[in-house]
Structure 1
Amino acid sequence: MNIALQYLEGEESLFLSNKGNKVYIDEKEYEIIDESGALKEDAIHVFNYVSVNPASRERFEKRFLNRPKLIEKEKGFLSIRVLRPLTDNTFLILTQWETVKAFQDWQGSKAYQHAHKKRGTKEGLDQEKGVLSEKPYHLLFKTKK
């Protein structure tokens, strides 16, 4: 699958390609370590970028592999890919949604609160010293027409 994407809040565009257990964002290669749902061409694509210190990669991956998997039950959810970077230390969590509103509803849901309940606490990876090398952020893209 090959998808041309356009950033929702600007002119930036990128190209997403999925081949077997690999996902390519432009020229950057990732390995899929967790997935649910089929990737769709026509969707809202949310890219969550999480920079992890090299010594903490295994801990970060373990946390995601043991996630509660509540997102899959949300209205408007299409798919998720947890992607391990092969050239640097920025993981990518790609989710696909039917609409921007469906993604925003997920962010305001009890399921989201549960999935992120440790954020900001001493048990959260965001507070544990040495795990994250930068503050995570997300960008929204749509299929380029």
Structure 2
Amino acid sequence: MKMNVYITTGTFEYLKGIEMTYPSESMATMVNQDGALLLHETSKTSVFKEPRKYEILESSGLIGKEGFAVINNIPITEESVPLFEHQFKDLPSLLEKEKGFIAIRVLRPLSSNTYIILTIWESAITFENRKTLLDSEIKKAYENVKHSHIFTSAPYVSKYTIVTPQ
């Protein structure tokens, strides 16, 4: 069964309200200093009106109601897609053994060119302790892609805390 991830942004209160309205859905509200986002993982259509849409290529673990989320946003050229996807297929199995690791999703964009590597950790400290490994694996995957112009723009990282709705 094909699983998708849908992401929307808004105020924390608004997004928390959506999550609480659909308690049987797999959703996680995340916040950082810049705002909030709500992630919806499902094999069905999202309840969001205008989400960013992704197909799950690789995954491990469950996204729960707590943790520290690290989102690597990687805009890829069309001709680099097959090789890029191939390079990241083993990342979940590498991270599964790491202390403090909770979940990973390698996400293919359905309405843009920006892939997402989402990792969930027990805490920001746990992530920082494993950051060198994650950075080296992602860097190795980048280096293995032989195209000189793999990116359409600079990749960037966003970090969030997953917040349990009250």
Query: Which TM-score band applies after superposition, normalised by the shorter structure?
Result: 0.7 to 0.9
* Alignment match, 1:98: 122
Q: Which structure 1 segments of 5+ residues have no match?
A: none
Alignment match of 1:19 (pick from 36, 42, 64): 42
Q: Which structure 2 segments of 5+ residues have no match?
A: 1-25
Distance 1:137 1:90 in 2: 10
Distance 1:34 1:43 in 2: 20
Distance 2:40 2:130 in 1: 25
**Secondary structure class of the residue paired with 2:86:** helix
Alignment match of 2:103 (pick from 56, 72, 79): 79
How many residues in Structure 1 have an aligned counterpart in Structure 2? 138
* Alignment match, 2:75: 51
CA RMSD across the alignment: 2.7
* Alignment match, 2:87: 63
Alignment match of 1:6 (pick from 9, 20, 31): 31
2:59/2:92 contact within 8 Å kept:
no
Question: Based on CA coordinates, which of the two structures has the bigger radius of gyration?
Answer: 2
Distance 1:5 1:112 in 2: 21
Change (3 A) 1:61 1:85: same
Change (3 A) 1:132 1:11: closer
Change (3 A) 1:5 1:62: same
Distance 1:55 1:43 in 2: 35
Deviates more, 1:17-26 or 1:85-94: 17-26
Counterpart check, 1:115 vs 2:137: yes
Give per-residue Cα distances to partners, 1:65-85, cap 9 Å, x unaligned: 144832111111000000000
Change (3 A) 1:117 1:140: closer
**Secondary structure class of the residue paired with 2:115:** strand
Deviation of 1:143 (Å): 2.1
Distance 2:106 2:114 in 1: 11
* TM-score (normalizing by structure 2): 0.72
* Alignment match, 1:141: 160
* TM-score (normalizing by structure 1): 0.81
